[in-house]
Amino acid sequence: MCGRYVSSKETSSVAAAYDVDQESVEPVWPGSFSIAPTTSAPVVLEDADDTGVVTRRLEVASWGLRPHWLDEKRRGFHNARIETAGSKPAFRTAVARRRAVVPMSGYYEWVAQTDGKQPFYIHPADETGLLSAAGLYELDKDLAGEWRLTFTVLTRTGVDAAGVVHDRMPVFLDEPAWRAWIAPG
């Protein structure tokens, strides 16, 4: 996990699900059934200003965390193991200060078969809800000197049906957990 996922809800639906201020959503997200590493996708972030006022934002970011020191020729990190993220140089600052929620409708895992790979789509039973994956984000300058927002998805040991398909899966958070996860400080 996780090499491709679905975020099929449009901007207004995602913003409403996470109590995001509609005015802060830019650019508009149309939804996608195939998000791969390096693709842009929505993430939910919170930060506090100098007076302590917290703002929750929905941003479109590039999937593949790029710490400022990562060589431009290298791909960003699209997954991070939750067991070691706090101690790895690529993730430890983001774990402490830049946590995000990655809204997903579901994700894909491929299982090797004799005639190739078989994709499995793992999603909520009702197929109408969103899965809130724990993520991390960073700001990085590209070669043109433009700031870009990048993110990674935290993974854990696979359990239940997801664990049958693959040994890793995203870390999913229920509402109280995701609210605590992205809270500044």
pLDDT in tens, 52-87: 899 999 999 999 999 988 888 788 999 999 999 999
On whether the CB atoms of residues 5 and 162 are closer than 8 A, the answer is no
Largest CA-CA distance found in the chain, in angstroms, rounded: 60
User: Residue 19's CB: how many other CB atoms inside 10 A?
Assistant: 10
Q: Can you tell me the distance from the alpha carbon of 184 to that of 25, in angstroms, rounded to the nearest whole number?
A: 19
Give the three-class secondary structure for 74: coil
The phi-psi region of residue 165 (left if phi > 0; otherwise alpha if psi is between -120 and 50; otherwise beta) is: alpha
Q: Can you tell me the distance from the alpha carbon of 172 to that of 47, in angstroms, rounded to the nearest whole number?
A: 21
Lowest mean pLDDT among 7-21, 27-41, 106-120, 152-166: 152-166
On whether the CB atoms of residues 43 and 101 are closer than 8 A, the answer is yes
User: Residue 66's CB: how many other CB atoms inside 10 A?
Assistant: 25
CATH of 5-182, one of 3.90.1680.10, 3.90.1150.10, 3.40.50.2300, 1.10.10.10: 3.90.1680.10
How is the chain split into domains, by residue range? 5-182
On whether the CB atoms of residues 45 and 120 are closer than 8 A, the answer is no
What percentage of the chain exceeds 70 in pLDDT? 91
pTM of the model: 0.91
* pLDDT value at residue 79: 95
By CB atoms closer than 10 A (0-12, 13-18, 19+), residue 22 is: exposed
pLDDT in tens, 142-173: 878 888 999 999 999 877 666 566 768 999 99
